[in-house]
Amino acid sequence: MPDHRELSADDAFRVCDPAQFDFETTANLPPPEGIIGQKRAVSAIHFGLSIEARGYNLYLAGESGTGRTSLIRSILARLAKQKPVPPDICLVNNFRAPDQPRVLYLQPGLSRQLKRDVENLVESLRREIPQTFEGKGYEAQQAEVLDQYQQKTAALFSMLQKQAGEEGIQFQITPAGVVTRVVKDGQPLSQEQYDRLPDEEKEEVRQRIEKFNQRVLEIMDQVRDAERETRDRVKELERQTALIIVQSLVGYLQRKYTEHSDIVEYLEQAQHYILENISDFRRKEEEQVQEPTAQAMRMVTQQSRFIEYQVNILVDNSIAEGAPVIIEPNPTYTNLFGAMEREVQFGALVTNFTMIKAGSLVRANGGYLIVEALDLFKYPFVWDTLKRTMEAGQVRIEDVAVQYGILSATGLRSEPINVKVKVILIGNPLLHYLLYAYDEDFQKLFKVKADFDSQMDRTSENVKQYAQFVTACCLRGNLKPFDRNGVAAVVEYGSRLAEDQTKLSTKFGEIADIMTEASYWASHNGNDLVRREDVERAVEEKIFRSNRIEERIQEMIARGFILVDTAGGVPGQVNGLSVITIGDYEFGKPVRITCETFAGKSGMTNVEQRAKLSGSIHNKAFLILTGYLGAKFGRDKPLLVTANMVFEQTYERIEGDSASIASVVALLSSLAGAPVKQNLAVTGSINQKGEVQPIGGVDQKIEGFFTVCKIRGLTGEHGVIIPHQNVANLMLNREVVEAIR
Q: CA 568, 574, 578: angle at the middle one, nearest 5?
A: 125
- One-letter amino acid at 10 equals D
Q: Which is more confidently placed, 19 or 404?
A: 19
Residues with Cβ < 8 Å from 709, sequence gap 6 or more? 566, 679, 718
Which of 225, 258, 282 is where one domain is finished? 282
pLDDT at residue 327 tops 90? yes
Look at residue 297 in the predicted model and tell me its pLDDT.
46
Look at residue 242 in the predicted model and tell me its pLDDT.
78
At 419, the pLDDT band (50, 70, 90 cuts) reads very high
pLDDT tens digit string along 621-676?
888 888 888 888 877 887 778 889 899 998 888 888 888 999 999 999 998 999 99
Structural domain includes residue 97: no
Measure the CA dihedral 126/130/133/136, to 10°. -130
Q: CA 733, 738, 741: angle at the middle one, nearest 5?
A: 130
C-alpha 722/C-alpha 166 separation (Å) is 134
Closest CA to 581 of 700, 662, 661, 495: 700
Average pLDDT over residues 581-598: 92
Q: Can you tell me whether residue 448 is helix, strand or coil?
A: strand
Kindly state whether residues 668 and 592 are assigned to the same domain: yes
pLDDT tens digit string along 380-389?
899 999 999 9
Kindly state whether residues 734 and 639 are assigned to the same domain: yes
Structural domain includes residue 306: no
Kindly state whether residues 44 and 158 are assigned to the same domain: no
C-alpha 220/C-alpha 679 separation (Å) is 122
**CA distance from start to end of the chain:** 24
C-alpha 574/C-alpha 681 separation (Å) is 7
Kindly state whether residues 668 and 521 are assigned to the same domain: no
What CATH number is given to the structural domain containing 536? Answer: 1.10.8.60
pLDDT at residue 369 tops 50? yes
pLDDT at residue 175 tops 80? no
What CATH number is given to the structural domain containing 366? Answer: 3.40.50.300
Which of 546, 562, 591 is where one domain is finished? 546
Look at residue 403 in the predicted model and tell me its pLDDT.
67
pLDDT at residue 189 tops 90? no
In degrees and rounded to multiples of 5, residue 559 shows phi and psi of -90, -5
C-alpha 631/C-alpha 614 separation (Å) is 25
pLDDT at residue 287 tops 50? no
Look at residue 586 in the predicted model and tell me its pLDDT.
94
Kindly state whether residues 534 and 499 are assigned to the same domain: yes
Closest CA to 317 of 108, 110, 116: 108
Structural domain includes residue 209: yes
| Domains in the chain, number | 4
What CATH number is given to the structural domain containing 728? Answer: 3.30.230.10
Closest CA to 604 of 661, 644, 655, 657: 644
Burial class (CB in 10 A: 0-12, 13-18, 19+), 53: exposed
pLDDT tens digit string along 112-144?
999 999 999 999 998 888 887 777 777 787 777
Average pLDDT over residues 45-50: 95
Which of 426, 452, 478 is where one domain is finished? 452
Structural domain includes residue 327: yes
Contact yes or no for 343/355 (Cβ under 8 A):
yes
Contact yes or no for 213/182 (Cβ under 8 A):
no
Domain that holds residue 277: 132-282
Strand order in the sheet with 603-606: 603-606, 641-647, 585-599, 573-582, 680-682, 719-721
Percentage of the chain exceeding pLDDT 70: 89
Structural domain includes residue 99: no
Q: Can you tell me whether residue 55 is helix, strand or coil?
A: coil
Q: Which is more confidently placed, 570 or 34?
A: 570
Kindly state whether residues 140 and 77 are assigned to the same domain: no
Kindly state whether residues 394 and 473 are assigned to the same domain: no
Kindly state whether residues 26 and 44 are assigned to the same domain: no
Beta bridge partners of 53: none
Kindly state whether residues 597 and 708 are assigned to the same domain: yes
Kindly state whether residues 206 and 257 are assigned to the same domain: yes
Mean pLDDT across the chain = 87
CA distances from residue 83 to 50, 367, 445, 496, 533 in whole angstroms, order as listed: 11, 8, 22, 42, 48
Kindly state whether residues 25 and 51 are assigned to the same domain: no
Kindly state whether residues 501 and 439 are assigned to the same domain: no
Say which range, 255-264, 465-474, 527-536, 591-600, has the weakest mean pLDDT: 591-600
Structural domain includes residue 91: no
pLDDT tens digit string along 102-114?
999 999 999 999 9
Percentage of the chain exceeding pLDDT 90: 60
Structural domain includes residue 104: no
Structural domain includes residue 446: yes
In three-state form (DSSP H/G/I as H, E/B as E, the rest C), the secondary structure along 611-667 is CCCECHHHHHHHHHHHHHHHHHHCCCCCCCEEEEEEECCCCCCECCCCCHHHHHHHH
Contact yes or no for 468/32 (Cβ under 8 A):
yes
pLDDT at residue 245 tops 90? no
